[in-house]
C-alpha cells in the first residue's frame, strides 16, 4: 500500500479509506466473523448443561448470561483489532500520516464493530430464545447490545492498542479491560432485566447511550496515544 496515497487524501476520505481497508480484511476471512458468533452459541449451550434445564430459572438468568457471554465474545476478538496492522507495518504508516491517528483508529474500530458487535447484537435474539428470555425483552436486548458492544469495542480497542506489541498479550488484555467493562455490563443487563419484569428500561438504555458518547469522544484519543507507545516498544 503506497503511503503517499494516504498523505494526499483529505481527512474524510482517509477515514473512509481506513474504514474500507479494515472492513475488507474482515470480509477476507469469514471465519473471523463467524468465530464470535460460534463462541456465543457454544457458551450459551453450556449454561443449561451447567445449571440444569429448568426453563423458569434459565429465563430468569437469561439477561445476565446473554450479556456476560456477549462481553466475553467481544473481549475475545478485540485483541485482534490492531494485530495485523502492527505486524505488517501499516501502523507505522498511519502514525506518519498527516491526519490525527485518533480519527484513523476510530475508522478501524467502527469497521471492527460492524463486523463483530453489530452482528452479535442482531443474532442475539436467537440465543435469547434458546434461554427462554421473555419475548417482550427481545427488542431491548438487541438495542442494549448494539449500544453496549460499541462501548465494549471502543474500550477493548484501548486495551488492544496497549498490548499489541506484547507477545501473548491475551490474558493481560482481559486483566486490564474487564474492570473497565463493568459499567457497560451493569447498565446493559439491568436494562434487559427491567424489560423482562415489565419495568422501565429506558433510563438504563440512556445511560448506555451516555457511555457510548463518552467512549466515542475519549476512546480514540487513548487509542491513538497507546498505538504510538506500542510502536516505541516494539
Residues 11 and 104: their CA atoms lie apart, in Å, by 9
Under the criterion CB under 8 A, does residue 175 sit at the interface with another protein?
A: yes
Site string for another protein, 98-127 (x = CB under 8 A): ------------------------------
Which cell is 187 given?
447498565
Cα separations in angstroms, 158 against 16, 93, 220 = 21, 19, 8
Site string for another protein, 176-195 (x = CB under 8 A): x-xxx-xx--xx--x-----
Q: How many CB atoms lie within 10 A of CB 202?
A: 12
* Residue of 63, 148, 156, 169 that binds another protein (CB under 8 A): 169
Per-state percent for the chain, helix, strand, coil, to nearest 5: 85, 0, 15
Nearer to another protein, 61 or 178 (CB): 178
Q: Report 2-31 residues binding another protein (CB under 8 A).
A: none
Q: Min. distance of Cβ 156 from another protein in angstroms?
A: 12
Nearer to another protein, 114 or 178 (CB): 178
Interacting span for another protein (CB under 8 A) from 34-42, 109-117, 132-140, 223-231: 223-231
Nearer to another protein, 146 or 223 (CB): 223
* Residue of 9, 72, 114, 172 that binds another protein (CB under 8 A): 172
Nearer to another protein, 46 or 182 (CB): 182
Asked whether 173 and 76 are in contact (CB, 8 A), the reply is no
The helix/strand/coil state of 223 is helix
Residues 226 and 162: their CA atoms lie apart, in Å, by 5
Q: Report 127-166 residues binding another protein (CB under 8 A).
A: 155, 158, 162-163, 165-166
Under the criterion CB under 8 A, does residue 213 sit at the interface with another protein?
A: no
DSSP conformation class of 136: G
Asked whether 156 and 75 are in contact (CB, 8 A), the reply is yes
What does the buried/exposed string (b/e) look like for 27-51 if buried means 16 or more CB atoms within 10 Å of the residue's CB?
eeeeeeeebbbebbbebbeebbeee
Q: Report 193-212 residues binding another protein (CB under 8 A).
A: 207, 211
Residues 164 and 234: their CA atoms lie apart, in Å, by 9
| Chain contacts with another protein (rule: CB under 8 A) | 155, 158, 162-163, 165-166, 169, 172, 175-176, 178-180, 182-183, 186-187, 190, 207, 211, 214, 218, 222, 225-226, 229-230, 232-233
Amino acid at each position: 500500500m503506497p503511503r503517499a496515497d494516504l498523505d494526499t487524501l483529505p481527512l474524510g476520505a482517509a477515514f473512509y479509506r481506513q474504514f474500507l481497508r479494515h472492513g475488507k480484511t474482515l470480509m477476507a476471512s469469514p471465519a473471523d466473523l463467524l468465530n464470535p458468533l460460534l463462541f456465543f452459541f457454544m457458551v450459551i449451550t453450556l449454561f443449561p448443561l451447567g445449571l440444569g434445564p429448568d426453563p423458569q430459572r434459565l429465563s430468569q438468568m437469561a439477561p445476565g448470561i446473554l450479556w456476560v457471554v456477549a462481553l466475553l465474545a467481544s473481549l475475545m476478538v478485540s485483541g485482534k483489532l490492531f494485530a495485523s496492522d502492527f505486524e505488517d507495518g501499516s501502523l507505522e504508516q498511519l502514525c506518519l500520516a498527516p491526519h490525527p491517528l485518533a480519527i484513523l483508529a476510530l475508522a478501524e474500530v467502527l469497521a471492527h464493530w460492524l463486523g463483530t458487535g453489530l452482528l452479535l447484537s442482531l443474532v442475539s435474539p436467537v440465543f435469547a430464545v434458546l434461554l427462554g428470555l421473555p419475548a417482550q425483552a427481545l427488542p431491548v436486548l438487541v438495542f442494549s447490545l448494539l449500544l453496549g458492544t460499541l462501548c465494549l469495542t471502543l474500550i477493548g480497542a484501548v486495551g488492544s492498542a496497549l498490548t499489541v506489541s506484547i507477545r501473548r498479550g491475551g490474558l493481560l488484555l482481559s486483566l486490564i479491560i474487564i474492570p473497565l467493562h463493568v459499567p457497560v455490563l451493569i447498565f446493559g443487563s439491568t436494562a434487559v432485566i427491567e424489560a423482562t419484569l415489565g419495568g422501565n428500561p429506558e433510563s438504563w438504555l440512556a445511560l448506555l447511550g451516555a457511555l457510548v458518547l463518552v467512549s466515542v469522544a475519549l476512546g480514540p484519543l487513548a487509542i491513538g496515544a497507546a498505538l504510538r507507545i506500542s510502536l516505541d516498544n516494539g
